[in-house]
Amino acid sequence: MENKEIHTNRLLSEINALKDQLFEAHSIIDAIREGSVDALVLHNQGTPQIYTLESADYTYRILIEKFSEGALSITPDGLISYCNDSFSKLANIPAKNITGTYIKSYFDVQEVFEDLLEDAEKGTAKREVMLNIGGRRFPVNISFTSLAPTVDAIGVVITDLTEKKQHEETLLKNQQELELKVNELHATNTSLEQFIHVISHDLKEPLRKILMYISRLDATAYAPENNPVGVIKSSAIRLNSLVDDLVKYAFSSVKDDMEPIDLNKVLKEVKDDLEISIAENNATLIIDELPVITGTSVQMRQVFSNLIANAIKYSKNDIAPQITVDYEIANESDKFYYKVNIHDNGIGMDKAHLNKIFTIFQRLHMRNEYSGNGIGLAICKKIMENHSGRIEVQSIPGNGSVFSLLFPINNL
């Protein structure tokens, strides 16, 4: 009796198992009919075999087939059931030899595959990994997209990064080289600055002594006109000022920290510095409202100081110098500038000379007419270049000059 019952139960469970198998078989056939399955993998004595269907949806198939990135579909345990042309080319293996193999075997570090598989359960997993196919290692971007629950498979897209990596490496190498060069340049500039200081110190040391000890010479032993003591002294003073000016010129291209500079403040300081000269020459200095520019205050002070001192120096004998500083906004091919103008009523310059005056050591006058080393305007030009701007001049002989400083406006 008991034996019969056991027997019946066994038969019932066998029937149930068969029913399940039959249902599964029907489902597969239905799926194939509907075109939602385009390949079957069956294990035949341990060897996986792929069965594909001609009736599969061609549009999607061709898309994947011709896709410029490598595309694979794999079973949940990583068996490759489909491989497109691009991946076959990338791997340099015919597609038919790739399908049926395990994707894991193409990973350089096989643990990465397990990671990707785990992450893909949540949807899509992306990594930059190294593949190793037939001993050839190359970087790729690989993505696993779970196709569940529609299909129990994973879609894999592989992008070759070999070229991109090479570009990145070249870029990085170039950047490092550039940084090295910049550092070298900084070091060179620093040693050059020190060199200038040492040279100026060593040149000025004997000059200072010449000037000091001249005062111990008896100048009264000579006739007042062309007194050699006086000539020696004025020459030494000139040489000394030349050394000072050359140091200033050398430092006018030094880029200190650029910061917002209120030119109103700079002009007030310059006016104070030149107070004696302004008073002695009976000069009038009118300063309009000026903008705030980006620059270094020391260099700005030097530019305005040079230009205003020049305007006083090159004034007409019989007319007191009148100098006006104002500004306008200039527009040149969609670039905007603060154009700061320094107008004077001085002797002016011939048009033919205008392009020469910013050249170092270029002078338009005899030294006994007007003093100077011919460095001042060269310094101004260098400083303006240093401020990404420029200096311009307009002049009518006998009618005065207008020097214009153009500062780029960054946020307009």
Partner 1 sequence: MTNVKSLHIVIAEDDFDDADIVQQSFESNGNFTKIELVKNGQELLNLLRNCSSCPDVILTDINMPIMSGIEALREIYKDPALTPIPCFVYSTSINPTYEAQCKELGVKGFFIKPYSFEEFNNIPAVIVEVLTAGQ
Q: Is the CB of 120 or the CB of 236 nearer to partner 1?
A: 236
Q: What is the rounded distance in angstroms from the CA atom of residue 272 to the CA atom of residue 293? A: 21
Among 2, 54, 163, 205, binds partner 1 (CB under 8 A): 205
Among 82-90, 168-176, 211-219, 300-308, the segment contacting partner 1 (CB under 8 A): 211-219
Q: Is the CB of 243 or the CB of 274 nearer to partner 1?
A: 243
Among 47, 92, 215, 317, binds partner 1 (CB under 8 A): 215
Among 197, 335, 351, 353, binds partner 1 (CB under 8 A): 197
Burial 308-332 (b: 16+ CB within 10 A, else e): bbbbbbbbeeeeebbbbbebeeeee
Which residues, numbered 222-241, are part of the site for partner 1 (CB under 8 A)?
Answer: 240
Strands of the sheet containing 322-332, edge to edge, are: 284-287, 322-332, 335-343, 400-408, 390-396
Among 204-212, 285-293, 301-309, 348-356, the segment contacting partner 1 (CB under 8 A): 204-212
Give min distance, CB of 370 to partner 1, in A. 24
225 phi and psi angles, rounded to 5 deg: -75, 135
Alpha-carbon distance values, 369 to 138, 232, 313, 378 (Å): 78, 19, 10, 20
CB of 129 within 8 A of CB of 142?
A: yes
* Binding-residue total with partner 1 (CB under 8 A): 13
Q: What is the rounded distance in angstroms from the CA atom of residue 370 to the CA atom of residue 347? A: 12
Q: Is 194 in the site for partner 1 (CB under 8 A)?
A: yes
Residue 116, exposed/middle/buried by CB under 10 A (0-12, 13-18, 19+)? Answer: buried
Q: Is the CB of 194 or the CB of 355 nearer to partner 1?
A: 194
Q: What is the rounded distance in angstroms from the CA atom of residue 344 to the CA atom of residue 26? A: 103
Give min distance, CB of 211 to partner 1, in A. 5
Among 200-208, 271-279, 343-351, 365-373, the segment contacting partner 1 (CB under 8 A): 200-208
Q: Is the CB of 140 or the CB of 207 nearer to partner 1?
A: 207
* Size of the chain in residues: 412
Q: Is 204 in the site for partner 1 (CB under 8 A)?
A: yes
Q: Is 365 in the site for partner 1 (CB under 8 A)?
A: no
Give min distance, CB of 205 to partner 1, in A. 5
Among 53-61, 195-203, 300-308, 394-402, the segment contacting partner 1 (CB under 8 A): 195-203
Q: Is 186 in the site for partner 1 (CB under 8 A)?
A: no
Which helix (H) or strand (E) element contains residue 155? Answer: strand 154-160
Q: What is the rounded distance in angstroms from the CA atom of residue 274 to the CA atom of residue 301? A: 11
Long-range contacts of 37-43 (CB under 8 A, 24+ apart): 37/151, 39/73, 39/81, 39/82, 41/75, 41/79, 41/81
Among 112, 211, 229, 239, binds partner 1 (CB under 8 A): 211
* Site string (66-85) toward partner 1, x via CB under 8 A: --------------------
Q: Is the CB of 256 or the CB of 328 nearer to partner 1?
A: 256
Q: Is 209 in the site for partner 1 (CB under 8 A)?
A: yes
- Site residues, partner 1 (CB under 8 A): 193-194, 197, 200-201, 204-205, 208-209, 211-212, 215, 240
